[in-house]
Each structure stands twice: as structure tokens, then as C-alpha cells.
Amino acid sequence: MSKLIPILLSFWLVINASAELTTNKMCKTCHPQIYKEYETSAHSKSTIYKDEIHKKIWDLHPNKKKNKYTCAVCHSPGDVRLLKALEDGEIAMPQDDKKHHEAISCITCHSIQNIERDPKTHDKIVLVDNDKKRPTIFAADELNRDNDDVYQRKTSIFGMFKSRSRSPYHDIKHSNDIFYTGKLCLGCHSHFKNEHELNICTTDDEGAIDEESNCITCHMPMVEGSYSTVPMSKKHRYHGFAGTRNKPEMLSKYLKMSFKQTQTGFEVTLENEAKHNLLLHPMRLGLLKVTIHRDSQEIKMKTIPFFRILGTNGKPSMPWLATEVIKENMLKAEEIKTYKYDTLLKKGDKVEVEFGFYLVNPEMLEKLNLSDNEEAKKYTIFKTESFGVLK
Ligand code: HEC
Ligand code: HEC
Ligand code: HEC
Ligand code: HEC
Ligand code: HEC
């Protein structure tokens, strides 16, 4: 078995020749359905060319003037040229070229051997050295977890290839635990501290410990369709990565809503089953809207906002300048919270509970130059539930 040499992202000098040639389109040949989903994901659109929200924030970021696209380590780790320029302290700016458009590519994710923890800034991904003709790909497979060799192509004495893997293109290693717990995701998602050591965005580790319920099981649920065109399977892991931008409805079951009538009115309880704050990015604004439907009348209750606003000296500021969290009202990991309403209900009333969100808090749109961006302005209904009043 060939020895795998880990390369830290901070040592991109050792360039990974086959990874450079290994494009998403190449994987598409044999994994078309996964590719189709992936194309719709935030991971495939994480560059300034495909994500206008990202671009607008980058345009305001001080590193732009310094010609250092430091976002690349997480937003375009497939762009080896750029990462190397960053490492060498040269001009390191995104170019509208093929490599940059690979974004968070198939091969990048499937080459993550481990993650390097860094509490001071952000964690980093450690990639396997795929500097050979046949890339090694990590994947989970419970049945073959202890048997990596089965998926390696061996050379026979006559110099002919005798394939023992059904993939003509790559080796597969099934023994990497981080593909079972979702820990690979933490390499970019765990936390992100700015220069003032303020944590801008945190996804708690608790979501990547358990093999039963983790980042993968929630955000990449099993869906219909074969994972490849060679061995056929009924199901595969969803590669659109359900989130706030793509397919939020796939996650709504993790927000539980309940209702109780009381002597002075009623209560609505929200339970966040996600193992992190319900919304993570500090630009987001969540809203809890409750409406009583009485005969043909609609009685709207006071809307409750959910946010985490960063700032300096008590005033909101750009995340890179922020020194404190100035206001916070977000449903925390696995939090259960009850909201009381003092409107008396009548028999036959229907109470409609709605949780929705804006990708970008409408109050921030102008400052971020996003007033014309439809996606940023859109209000998404994440979940609604209706409760009938029986007495
Ligand atoms: C020429 C066809 C072909 C190409 C190109 C290809 N694959 Fe595969 N891949 C396969 C086949 C066949 C299997 C199933 C192997 C088996 O089960 O023995 C597979 C299996 C996998 C698995 C593991 C599934 C599992 O749990 O065992 C992953 C992950 C994967 N491929 C990722 C990729 C990525 C990423 C790329 C692009 C860099 C890629 N593949 C390109 C044919 C291909
Ligand atoms: C440590 C990894 C990391 C680095 C470095 C990083 N980001 Fe991100 N970024 C993320 C992750 C992970 C998300 C998704 C978070 C979410 O959706 O809650 C994200 C999301 C975003 C979003 C929100 C997009 C949306 O979905 O609305 C913006 C804007 C953004 N990043 C800008 C930047 C800019 C600009 C830089 C460089 C100056 C940068 N990021 C550097 C990891 C990173
Ligand atoms: C953000 C990281 C990430 C990206 C990007 C990614 N994958 Fe995956 N992929 C995973 C994880 C995690 C799993 C689930 C664990 C496993 O089965 O290995 C997985 C599973 C798979 C599987 C196993 C079979 C199954 O059940 O779905 C295949 C095949 C695969 N990916 C191919 C691809 C291809 C092709 C692309 C690009 C079009 C891609 N992946 C992009 C993380 C990623
Ligand atoms: C029990 C299910 C569950 C687990 C486990 C889980 N999540 Fe989530 N995640 C959710 C729900 C629910 C949401 C909120 C709804 C949405 O984004 O549409 C969410 C949202 C997100 C978002 C988007 C937040 C935003 O503001 O845009 C990211 C990024 C994310 N999760 C990453 C992760 C990562 C990484 C892990 C593993 C460490 C993880 N999640 C574990 C359920 C889960
Ligand atoms: C190489 C870095 C990297 C890795 C590894 C990674 N992500 Fe992401 N992820 C990002 C970035 C960057 C974004 C934000 C892209 C944007 O909106 O511009 C993101 C966005 C997301 C979102 C938000 C999608 C949406 O529609 O709002 C989810 C959910 C998510 N990632 C889940 C995962 C999961 C699950 C894993 C592990 C299987 C994972 N990510 C691995 C960098 C990464």
C-alpha cells in the first residue's frame, strides 16, 4: 500500500499534480446524478464569480486593497495557483479561470485526510497527497471500513493492470473516520475569528462527533438515485448540501414547533434540533410570525426576530472590524424556547406559526451594496404549522 503523505494547506508548494487535472466534470462522467446536485450547491458557487453576495463583501474587505484573497482557503481551495501565491506573499487575486471555477471541488472534499485545529483563527483542511496518476478518494462504507486494500488497483507480474476496484479511475479508502462523523466539514466550518479575536461564525463541534446524527446525516440525507453509473445503487447522499440557500425545506423537520393554550392566552415553543445555532452567518435574520385566523379575520401577533449582530463600541460594524457581539437572539444548539402571547383564543380559532429568514438582514442591505440582489432580499419561509383551538 502506498504511504499517504498529508500536506497542510500552508505548504501548498508541494503541488498536487493529479488534483490539478481532476476536475468536477471528470467526476461527472461516472457520477452524473451527484454532479447535478452538486451544481446547485453553495459549495459549487462559493467564488466571487458565482456568488454575488460573497463578491460584494469581498469588494468591501480590506484584504482586497492588499491583493490578498485570503478567502480562497475555504471558498476556492481547488485554486492551487492562488493558494501558492498567498503562501509566497505574492499578489494573490482570483482570476476568472478554469481552476478557480472548481470552487469547493469534488476532489478537494474527497481528499481531506484530516483537519488541523487552530483556535486562534480558523481550522484548516489537510489534504492527502494525490500526486500520482490514480487519485485516492476517501469515502464512508461501513461494510468495508477496515479493508482499504480491496479498493486499490494492483499491478500483476506481467505489468498488466488487474483491477480489484470497480472504479477504473481512482482508489478508495474507507478507513478515514472523519467521513463517518462529519469532522471533515469542520476544516472550513468550525469557527472563524477576525483580527480582534472575535468569533464571527461558529458551527459547534457537537455536530461532528456522533456517527448517527451529524453534519452529513442532516445536510446530505440519503436520496433516491444511483451514486454512480457503474455499480448501481438505489440511494446516495444528497450533494446539493441543504442549507439556507439551497433546499432549506430538507431541514425543516429539525425545527419543532408546538402550541399550548393557557389561562391568559397561549404559548408557542420552538425546539432547535440542529447541533449549532439555527442560523449561523451574522448577516442572517430569522423571524417568528404568529397569526390567529378567526372567522375571516387575521390577527397578527408581534414578530420575534432572531439575529446575532456584531459591532464595535455598541454599534453594528463590518465583521472584520467587529470587537463584540452587540445584540444576540438566536436559537442555540438544541435549545427549546417558549414564547408567550397574551391574546385570548376562541373555540374554532386557528393559530398559524411561521419561521422564516432573510439571507441578509434588510437593515444591512444598503451598507453591503446588496439592495439589488434578489437572493439577498428574499424572505424564505422555512416552516409553518397550524394549530386548531378546540375549546
Ligand atoms: C471512470 C469512472 C469514474 C470516474 C471518472 C470517477 N469515479 Fe468515483 N467511482 C467509480 C466507481 C465505479 C465507483 C465504485 C467503486 C466500487 O464500489 O468498487 C466509484 C466510487 C466513488 C466513491 C466511493 C463510494 C463508496 O462509498 O465506495 C467516491 C467518493 C467517488 N467515487 C468519488 C469520485 C470523485 C470525487 C471523482 C472525481 C475526482 C470520481 N469519483 C471519478 C467510478 C468513477
Ligand atoms: C475558515 C474558512 C473561511 C474563510 C477563510 C472565509 N470564509 Fe466565508 N464562509 C465560510 C463558510 C463555512 C461559510 C458558510 C457559512 C454559513 O452559511 O453560515 C461562509 C460564508 C460566507 C458568506 C455568506 C454567503 C451566503 O451564504 O450568504 C460570505 C459573504 C463570506 N463567507 C465572505 C467571505 C470573505 C469575503 C472571505 C475572505 C475575506 C471569507 N468569507 C473567508 C468559510 C470561510
Ligand atoms: C463538501 C464536501 C464534499 C463535496 C464538495 C463532494 N462530496 Fe461527495 N461526499 C462527501 C461526504 C461527506 C460523503 C458521505 C460520506 C461518504 O459516503 O463518503 C460523500 C459521498 C460521496 C459518494 C459516495 C456515495 C453516496 O452514497 O453518495 C460519492 C460517489 C461522491 N461523494 C462523489 C462526489 C462527487 C462526484 C462530487 C462532485 C460532483 C462530490 N462527491 C463532492 C463530501 C463531499
Ligand atoms: C440535527 C441536524 C443538523 C446537524 C447535526 C447539523 N446541522 Fe447544520 N443545519 C441544520 C438546520 C436545521 C439548519 C438551519 C436551516 C437552514 O439552514 O436551512 C442548519 C444550517 C446550517 C448551515 C447554514 C447556516 C446559515 O446561516 O447559512 C450550515 C453552514 C450548517 N448548518 C453546517 C453544519 C455543519 C458543518 C454541521 C456539522 C458540524 C452541521 N451543520 C450539523 C441541521 C443540522
Ligand atoms: C473547503 C471548505 C469547506 C468544506 C470542507 C465544507 N464546506 Fe460547507 N461551505 C463552505 C463555504 C465557503 C460555504 C459558503 C459558500 C457561499 O455561500 O459562498 C459553505 C456552505 C455550506 C452550507 C450552506 C449551504 C446553503 O445552502 O446555505 C452548508 C449546509 C454546508 N456548507 C455544509 C457542509 C458540510 C455538511 C460539509 C462536510 C460534508 C461541508 N460543508 C464542508 C466551505 C466548506
The tens digit of pLDDT for each residue in 70-102 reads: 999 999 998 999 999 999 999 999 999 998 999
Band (pLDDT 50/70/90 cuts) for residue 6 is: very low
Quote the pLDDT of residue 293: 98
The residue assigned the cell 487519485 is: 135
Cell numbers for 360: 441578509
* Residue 139 burial (C-beta neighbours within 10 Å; 0-12, 13-18, 19+): middle
pLDDT, tens digit (0-9, with 9 covering 90-100), for 338-370: 999 999 999 999 999 999 999 999 999 999 999
Quote the pLDDT of residue 18: 45
Quote the pLDDT of residue 152: 55
pLDDT tops 80 at residue 31: yes
Cell numbers for 75: 471558498
Mean pLDDT across the chain, nearest whole number? 90
Cell numbers for 14: 508541494
Band (pLDDT 50/70/90 cuts) for residue 3 is: very low
Q: Which of 26-40, 118-132, 160-174, 182-196 has the lowest mean pLDDT?
A: 160-174
Q: Is the minimum distance from the CB of 76 to ligand 5 under 6 angstroms? A: no
| Alpha carbons 386 and 379: distance in angstroms, whole number | 20
Cell numbers for 307: 439575529
- 197 CA distance to ligand 4 centroid (A)? 23
Q: What atom in ligand 1 is closest to the CA of residue 105?
A: 35
- 103 CA distance to ligand 1 centroid (A)? 19
- 237 CA distance to ligand 3 centroid (A)? 7
Cell numbers for 243: 442549507
Band (pLDDT 50/70/90 cuts) for residue 221 is: very high
Residue 316's closest CA among 328, 303, 304? 328
The type of residue at 99 is: K
Band (pLDDT 50/70/90 cuts) for residue 159 is: low
| Ligand with minimal distance to 46 CA | 5
Quote the pLDDT of residue 139: 94
* Residue 347 burial (C-beta neighbours within 10 Å; 0-12, 13-18, 19+): exposed
Max mean pLDDT range (14-18, 160-164, 375-379): 375-379
**Which residue CA neighbors atom 35 of ligand 5 most closely?**
215
- 167 CA distance to ligand 1 centroid (A)? 6
| Alpha carbons 275 and 254: distance in angstroms, whole number | 10
| Mean pLDDT value of segment 318-332 | 96
| Mean pLDDT value of segment 279-302 | 97
Q: Is the minimum distance from the CB of 188 to ligand 5 under 6 angstroms? A: yes
Quote the pLDDT of residue 60: 97
